[in-house]
Amino acid sequence: MDNAEALRNVTPSMPEQFDNRLEDNWRLQFAIADLCSGVEDWGDKARAAAIEIEKGSDSRTAGARLLADIKTIRDSIDDHAIGSEELCSKLAADPDSEWAEWGKARKPISQVQLKNMLKIYGIKPGQVRPKRLGGSKQVRGYQFSWFEDAWERNL
């Protein structure tokens, strides 16, 4: 009770990846940690701990996580398109990724599963010519431009 007034009007700094609900959830804890800081900076320790805790609680839908991971893949390669097989392979490449053990069978995400998940965003595979394949070889896959609207609306 000695610090109730000090806590009521405080605006603690937030980690940059925290917004809206996360800020609301952690505001009081960070304020208390900042108030307790002395020789040791408990505020920084509290923020580092909160970041670690929140890493494991991604509340986005599986579809939104998929879109985010596809955007990361797009940013890591220099191409305008990607084949479905390559995209599935890249999604499942990290053994800790949820796409490495997807679905009830706990197997890497398949092209059919990928297609079905993207269907709700109006994204369907088609014939593409990735530059990495010489630009002349045609494969079934996705133009990254087909994702722009979904990325804009969902990420």
Domain ranges of the chain: 4-55, 62-154
Please tell me the distance from the alpha carbon of residue 8 to that of residue 20, in angstroms, as a whole number. Answer: 18
Please tell me the distance from the alpha carbon of residue 11 to that of residue 154, in angstroms, as a whole number. Answer: 29
Q: How many CA atoms lie within 13 A of 155 on its CB side?
A: 17
Confirm if 98 and 113 have CB atoms less than 8 A apart: no
Q: Which of 101, 105, 147 is closest to 124 using CA atoms?
A: 147
**What's the angle, vertex CA 104, arms to CA 118 and CA 155, rounded to 5?**
30
Please tell me the distance from the alpha carbon of residue 109 to that of residue 84, in angstroms, as a whole number. Answer: 11
Residue whose tokens read 């494991």: 56
Q: Mean pLDDT score of the chain, rounded to an integer? A: 90
Res. 19: pLDDT tops 80: no
Q: What is the pLDDT of residue 63?
A: 92
For residue 93, give the 3-state DSSP assignment: coil
Please tell me the distance from the alpha carbon of residue 81 to that of residue 45, in angstroms, as a whole number. Answer: 42
The 10s digit of each residue's pLDDT in 103-151 is 888 899 999 999 999 999 999 999 999 998 888 899 999 999 999 999 9
Confidence of residue 9 (pLDDT cuts 50, 70, 90): confident
Q: What is the pLDDT of residue 52?
A: 81
Longest dimension (CA), the chain: 73
